[in-house]
Chain A
Amino acid sequence: MTKPTGRSRGPFDPRLLHYARATRTYLVLSVGVGGATAVLVIAQAWLIATVVNGAFLDHRDAASLHGPLLALLAVVSGRALLAWAAERAAFRASAAAKSDLRQAAAARVAAFWPSGLEQRDTGQLTVLLTTGIDALDGYFSRYLPQVFLAVIVPVGIIAVVAGADWVSAALIAVSVPLIPLFMALVGATTRDRTAKRMRALQRLAGHFLDVLAGLPTLKVFGRAKAQARSIAEVTNRFRSATMGTLRLTFLSSLVLELLATVSVALVAVAVGLRLLGGSMNFHDALFVLVLAPEAYLPLRALGTHFHASADGMKAAEEIFELIETPDGDGARGSVRADGTGIVIRGLDVTYHGRRLPAVHDFELVVQPGETIALTGPSGCGKTTVLSVVLGLRRPDAGTVRLGGVDLSDLDLDDWRRHVAWVPQRPHLFARTVAENIRLGRPDASDAHIAAALDAAGLTEVVRRLPRGIDTPLGEGGAGLSAGERQRLALARAFVRNAPLLVLDEPTSSLDNETEADVLDSIRHLIFGRTALIVAHRPALAALADRVVELPAPPVPAAITAGEGAAST
């Protein structure tokens, strides 16, 4: 199917050279292989002309043409070998470039957190960095080599043909550049319509998915059977509209095919007539005729591979955009915090794309050693306050002093070394249970880990796992329930042994019985430490010295601003 061409861009994005160094060697190699291919194509035509001329007009036998025939065999095999070499180089370059881009992009993900990430779907980001980037294969292994062949081969052929017959050379020289020119013209005129059709296609697939997913609901209301007709109708209406667009978009390939074949036909007729008139010899005529289509082949192939390039360039562009995203945090200070006191005054945080602030004019003072519970209805910004304390989110207004240092002067890495954090939905890393806990403290001994597991009430859970603390977790490993994940994050916090604890509803996914166990451990954990706890459940809030209640978020006027998703 036709793909949207997007905004117009050259056949090669120079940023690839910048971000994927592997591309450079490869480009040199591609030019080399392209040049060698052009030489072989010309040699092949010359040898064919020589052999046919010898046998046809000079009546020579196979034995006397032994030399050129053997040479032709070598040239044919040489072309095959070059085709293989070109693809191999392309494949290697593609693998290397993908890995360069992937690593550059991954390094940025951490650096621009959170301002860059919160607007993105993390699932899409992961897909982009793993399989999405594979779209570059089509770009590197099909399209790019063809770009070089499409320039080098026609130029070489025109030069050589000019030596044999300048009229044919002129004909080819005029028609070859017309192909990309007309294709670009047709492409430019149909681009908007094509893009519109692509969007319509996506909407249509969305509609189909919507109806299928809602089938049980439609059945409840007795409306399911009637939908079959509407699906057929909608799809067929889309089909006729699409065919209208395709009639235009396919014009570009019509132009390509017409120019290529008509030019070859013109060369053949012109050469034939001059041959008849005696102003040209057969050898040159056949040489020109064999070469003429070869001048257009690379351009045709380029047209075919153009779609592969569109996907690849789209992936590359998304990655460039990721790499070029500015840092989320702005300048970082270098003053070390002194203690764990927290002073927040007049705090305002507004999330990207939202009109209403998630937190407005918020005050909080935490003395070292104090345990504070943050409560309030969902969407009131409790989690947002925690991310400010963790240095994960810059306030839009207000003063924040952590450990006696203003946030803008604070050495955040140093500050975070004194913090243990249990997020609401902890992430399971794709490594063993022990390694997951060691994230909290890389040098923790096995005894430390066992103690942390015990404190978090996980000993029994881990014992049931197939390989105990060495069981791999996360993607492709064992899964844990939401409650077990929370306890794993708690174990991480235990082993970290940090003076400031930041706990975001650490018991929200636990059943009442487990909650009681874990609450006991938390009580031990917060003893002698500073703790900031978001508490939905009263039993958790009961552990605090002080409860700070955040006001409910203002009632949004339109549903687009509804759902205080910030704190969940």
Chain B
Amino acid sequence: MNDRPAGALRTLNVARPAQRRITHASLLGAGAIGASIALMATSAWLISRAAQHPAEASLTLAIVGVQFFGLSRGFLRYAERLVGHDAALRVLADLRVRVYERLEAAAPAGLPLFRRGDLMARVVNDVDSLQDVVLRVIEPFAVAALVGIVTVAGMWWVLPQAGFVLLVALALSATAVPWLTGHLATRAEAKQATVRGELSAEVVDIVDGAPELIVMGGTEAQLGRIERADKRLRSLSRRGAGTAGVGLALTTELIGLASWGALTLGVRATHGGSLNGAFLAVLVLVPLAAVEVVSPLPAATQALQRSRVAAGRVFAAMDTRSVVTDPLHPVPIGSGPHTVELRSVWASYPGAGRAALRGVDLTLAPGRRVALVGPSGAGKSTLADVLVRFLQADGGDAMLDGVPMERYAADDVRSIVGLVEQRAHVFDTTLAENLRIGRRSAEDAELKRVLERVGLGPWLDGLSDGLSTEVGPMGARLSGGQRQRVAVARALLADFPILVLDEPTEHLERAAADALTTDLLAVTEGRSILLITHRLSGLEQVDEILVLQGGVIVEHGTHAALLATGGRYAALWWEERLGDQPASTQQNVTDVTDVTDVTDVTDVTDVIIKGGDQP
């Protein structure tokens, strides 16, 4: 994924759906700050005028004004915050839906975003953080612009030179100061980045490597390393500390100077007679109150930077190219029985260097049970993705019932060809809800039956909450085997005529894996299935075995035939058998280890021949 920040405009555009509310919030916010500036201005005028001892009636309006502004600020601010937060949450809702819709179009299992939980979690975090655009970026700048213009205009009306001084001070505080602070912060950050990385690595070492350090007696030395890295970071931070307060100091100075300048100019103008002395106090106090206009801007600039980085990642995810497009006029799918067929199919994921499938032929006739085996990286999952139309073949033809798949709607293809993914997702809800993804209308009794069929019956009986048991985030409260079995049960409920099982036993121990394979083959009896696996145990039961290597089918045939051929499949099978023999028998058969010893004679067939002699 790239980490380039998105353009500022495209980032701000995220807030467009709540445009009207953001305008309202900004106006309210401007009103709030405007009220406190007006409070100081009217108060200053009130006491100045009072010092001239006029009739009390001539002050009434000012007194009312002071009280009005005094009261209104709090309420305006309250309203602004409510409207602003409402707008931010609306932006969040809209963005979530848009991100979802884009990813929905793109989502095949093979893309990194869907394989790596950390990438997805980061995108979700970034989406959440983008609501800051409303509250911490757009509003502060909009409010500053509105209030700044009105305040400068007011000052200008009283004394043009003073208005100009305030304009310069505000403009500099709104542009140069945030830019400078941002620049200094980035520079300090860059200097510290390396040392931070080193420190972080040392901390990881003591946390994750704690047991090894304890046993090897390396704890003290490791603490020393942390201390040294920490000292380097601390001394860099000390040197960088000088730049930290620069923004605040400059704003304070600029606004103080504006107030001082307005006062000096005002004194001259009063003495010269061009300014009514009752306004002199107004000229000093307004700039002092106006500090509120610009003080949030350095933080707003940094929030914009952060949002751009977050937006960059979100947009990159949203721009993920859709791998499969539906035809304008999709062909309806026939009533079956269904056959899928690959004819010298070439396929690869976008961005992948070389094709994962290089001319694969495969036919899955009604009721046929085919196994696909091969080492990892052979292209097995890519093949599964082509079959469920998550992926478009680059060459050759993927056909369903003799029609190229791209002439159907992809969703229609998936209503016929089902998939149990390698790491099937289990949703953070109840067991029943997870199963009902397979069939909405399934009754509890049906759910129980299907769980029994996949071997989870006794386990279900032991659950105090039964089908209403919460499975936890990512199914954390289930074991790996239970997760896979739930996924299979879900697929059985959906009753796909053709089912692709992609490494359903991948993350299981050997015994559990073999048990699941046996159960799987039993419960899918009578259905067309393609079982993708790296474990060969149990494959005696399938009609045909295909061996995929480097994207090419190198062997095919029944278990017995392939074993007799003594090719790649036979080699893999014997290798697995040797590794699996129970420890007790192995102990007295010492020559087994001798056999393993000669494996560096690269030709595997040697081992097979010797291994074949084993009882």
Contact B81 A250 (CB under 8 A): yes
Residue in A closest to B40 when the chains form the complex, CB atoms: A293
In the complex, what residue of chain B is closest to A271 when comparing beta carbons? B47
The answer to whether A268 touches B104 (Cβ under 8 A) is: no
Asked whether, in the complex, the Cβ of A562 is within 8 Å of the Cβ of B479, the reply is yes
Closest CB in chain A relative to B350 CB, distance in Å: 16
Among B46, B207, B425, contact of A129 (Cβ-Cβ < 8 Å):
B207
Contact B114 A215 (CB under 8 A): yes
Q: Does B321 contact A (CB under 8 A)?
A: no
A378 B509 Cβ-Cβ under 8 A: yes
B93 partner residues in chain A, CB cutoff 8 A? 231-232, 235-236, 239
User: Which of B71, B201, B259, B280 interacts with A261 by CB under 8 Å?
Assistant: B71
Per-residue contact bits, chain A 426-452, to B (CB 8 Å; 1 contact, 0 not): 110110000000011010000000000
Find out whether the CB atom of A519 lies under 8 angstroms from the CB atom of B593.
yes
B11 CB, nearest partner CB in chain A, Å: 19
19 new A-B contacts at CB < 8 Å, known A427-B208, A429-B205, A440-B216: A1-B85, A54-B267, A92-B241, A106-B226, A107-B223, A215-B103, A216-B109, A253-B77, A255-B74, A258-B75, A265-B39, A289-B285, A392-B211, A416-B214, A421-B216, A538-B582, A542-B586, A558-B462, A560-B477
- Most chain B beta-carbon neighbours within 10 Å: one of A255, A268, A269, A416: A268
B50, A273: Cβ atoms closer than 8 Å = yes
The answer to whether the Cβ of A513 comes within 8 Å of any Cβ in the partner chain is yes
Task: Kindly list the 4 A-B residue pairs having the minimum CB-CB distance in the complex, ordered from nearest.
Answer: A265-B70, A87-B245, A76-B256, A268-B43
Contacting pair A55 B270 (CB below 8 A) = yes
Q: Tell me if A537 counts as interface (CB < 8 A to partner B).
A: yes
Q: How far is the CA of A73 from the CA of B73 in the complex (A)?
A: 30
**The residue from A220, A243, A387, A426 contacting B82, defined by CB atoms under 8 A apart:** A243
Given contacts A272-B50, A392-B211, A427-B209, contact A55 B277 (CB under 8 A): yes
B66 near A265 with CB under 8 A, answer yes
Query: Is the Cβ of A91 less than 8 Å from the Cβ of B268?
Result: no
Contact present for B253 and A76 (CB under 8 Å): yes
Of the candidate stretches A10-18, A95-103, A334-342, the one touching chain B is A95-103
Please tell me if the beta carbons of B596 and A515 are within 8 angstroms of each other in the complex.
yes
Contact B280 A56 (CB under 8 A): yes
**Bound-state Cα–Cα, A253 to B85, Å:** 14
Is the pair B271, A62 in contact by a Cβ cutoff of 8 Å? yes
Interface size, B (range): 35 or more
Report B-chain residues with C-beta under 8 Å of the C-beta of A275: 47, 50-51
A51-67 interface with B by 8 A CB criterion: 51-52, 54-57, 59-62, 65
User: Distance (Å) between the CB of B504 and the closest chain A CB?
Assistant: 14
Residue of B nearest to A555 (CB): B462
B94 closest partner in A (C-beta): A232
- Of the candidate stretches B230-238, B365-373, B537-545, B558-566, the one touching chain A is B230-238
Verify if B525 is at the interface (C-beta below 8 Å from A).
no
With a CB–CB cut-off of 8 A, which chain A residues contact B415?
A: 222
Cβ contacts under 8 Å, A56 to chain B: 48, 51, 270, 277-278, 280-281
Q: Flag if A520 contacts B597 (CB, 8 Å).
A: yes
User: B429's closest neighbor in chain A, by CB?
Assistant: A210
Q: Is the CB of B271 within 8 A of A559?
A: no
Contacts A275-B50, A416-B215, A562-B482 given; does A250 touch B82 at CB 8 Å: yes
Instruction: Note all chain A residues with C-beta closer than 8 A to B67.
Output: 265, 269
Stretch at the interface among A200-208, A348-356, A360-368, A402-410: A200-208
Contacts of B248 in A (CB 8 A): 83-84, 87
Cβ-defined partner of B583 (8 Å) among A236, A538, A560? A538
A69 contacts which of B73, B240, B264, B424 (Cβ < 8 Å)?
A: B264
Cβ-defined contact, A475 with B586, below 8 A? no
Interface flag for B421 (CB, 8 Å): yes
Question: Given the complex, which residues of A lie within 8 Å of B411, measured CB to CB?
Answer: 219, 222, 225
A292 to B571, CA, bound (A): 90
Which residues of B are found within 8 Å of A77, using beta-carbon distances?
253, 256
Q: Is A330 an interface residue (CB 8 A)?
A: no
Interface 0/1 of B238-278, CB less than 8 Å to A: 10111011101110110011011001101110110000011
Question: Within 8 Å CB of A216, what residues of B?
Answer: 107-109, 114, 390, 421, 425
A206-B578 Cα distance, complex, nearest whole Å: 45
Q: Which of A108-116, A188-196, A463-471 contacts B (4 or more CB under 8 A)?
A: A108-116
In the complex, which residue of chain A has the Cβ closest to the Cβ of B42? A268
Tell whether A185 is near chain B: CB-to-CB under 8 Å: no
Contact (Cβ within 8 A) B425 A228: no
Cα distance, A373 to B427, chains bound together (Å): 40
Cα–Cα, bound, A55→B471 (Å) = 78
Instruction: Please give the distance in Å from A478's CB to the nearest CB on chain B.
Output: 13
Partner of A516 from B70, B390, B600 at Cβ < 8 Å: B600
Contact yes or no, A265 B82, CB < 8 A: no
Tell me which of B233, B246, B600 contacts A513 (CB under 8 A): B600
CB-based contact A209/B96 at 8 Å = no
Residues of A contacting B593 in the complex (Cβ-Cβ under 8 angstroms): 519, 539, 542
B201 proximity list for chain A (CB < 8 A)? 430, 474-476
Contacts of B44 in A (CB 8 A): 286, 289
Partner of A214 from B259, B425, B477 at Cβ < 8 Å: B425
| Interface presence of A372 (CB below 8 A) | no
A235-B92, A264-B43, A559-B478 as given contacts; A72 in contact with B66, CB under 8 Å: no
Alpha-carbon distance A231/B42, docked complex (angstroms):
50
Query: Min CB distance, B313 to chain A, in Å?
Result: 14
B587 contacts A by Cβ under 8 Å: yes
A559 to B268, CA, bound (A): 84
Residues on the A chain within 8 Å of B281, using CB: 52, 56, 286, 289
A110 x B277 contact (CB < 8 A): no
- Cβ A217 vs Cβ B421 within 8 A: yes
Whether B245 and A91, one on each chain, are in contact in the complex, defined by CB atoms closer than 8 angstroms, is yes
Q: Is the CB of A258 within 8 A of B74?
A: yes
Interface residues of B in 557-610 (CB under 8 A from A): 575, 578-587, 590, 592-593, 596-597, 599-600
Taking a contact as CB atoms under 8 Å apart, the answer to whether A61 and B100 are in contact is: no
Give the CA-CA distance A247 to B86 in the complex, in Å: 11
A60–chain B nearest beta-carbon distance, Å? 7
Inside 8 A of A392's CB, which chain B residues have their CB? Answer: 211, 214-215
Complex contacts, A562 vs chain B, CB 8 Å? 477-479, 482
Contacts of B109 in A (CB 8 A): 216
Interface contact B124-A373, CB-CB below 8 Å: no
Chain A CB count within 10 A is highest, among B203, B233, B284, for B203
Q: Is A290 an interface residue (CB 8 A)?
A: yes
Q: Are A541 and B587 in contact (CB-based, < 8 A)?
A: yes
Q: A122-B208, A562-B479 are in contact. Are A110 and B579 (CB under 8 A)?
A: no
Query: Chain B residues with Cβ under 8 A from A517's Cβ?
Result: 600
**Proximity string of chain B (460-479) to chain A, C-beta cutoff 8 Å, 1 when within and 0 when not:** 00111000010101100111
Task: Say whether A83 contacts B249, CB under 8 Å.
Answer: yes
A272 touches B586 (CB 8 A): no
With a cutoff of 8 Å between Cβ atoms, the chain A residues found around residue B482 in the complex are 559, 562
Q: Does B7 sit at the interface, judged by CB under 8 A?
A: no
B62: chain A residues within 8 A (beta carbon):
272
Q: Which residues of A contact B546 (CB under 8 A)?
A: none
Closest Cβ neighbor of A107 among chain B residues: B223
The verdict on B360 contacting chain A, using a C-beta distance below 8 Å, is no
Instruction: Give the Cβ gap from A91 to chain B, nearest Cβ, in Å.
Output: 4
> Is the CB of A547 closer than 8 A to any CB of chain B?
yes
Taking CB atoms, residues of chain B closer than 8 Å to A555 are 462
Is B121 positioned at the interface, with any CB of A under 8 Å from its CB? yes
Q: Report the minimum CB–CB distance from A126 to chain B (whole Å).
A: 5
Contact sample, A vs B, 17 pairs, CB 8 Å cutoff: A79-B256, A84-B249, A85-B245, A92-B237, A114-B211, A117-B207, A208-B124, A209-B121, A215-B103, A228-B97, A243-B86, A254-B75, A268-B66, A276-B53, A286-B47, A427-B208, A547-B587
Residue of B nearest to A202 (CB): B128
Chain B nearest CB, measured from A23 CB (Å) = 14
Distance in angstroms from A34 CB to nearest chain B CB is 15
Nearest-CB residue, chain B, relative to A258: B74
Residue of A106, A250, A492, A538 with most partner-chain B CB within 10 A: A538
Query: Once the chains are docked, how many angstroms separate the CA of A209 from the CA of B103?
Result: 12
Contacts of B581 in A (CB 8 A): 538
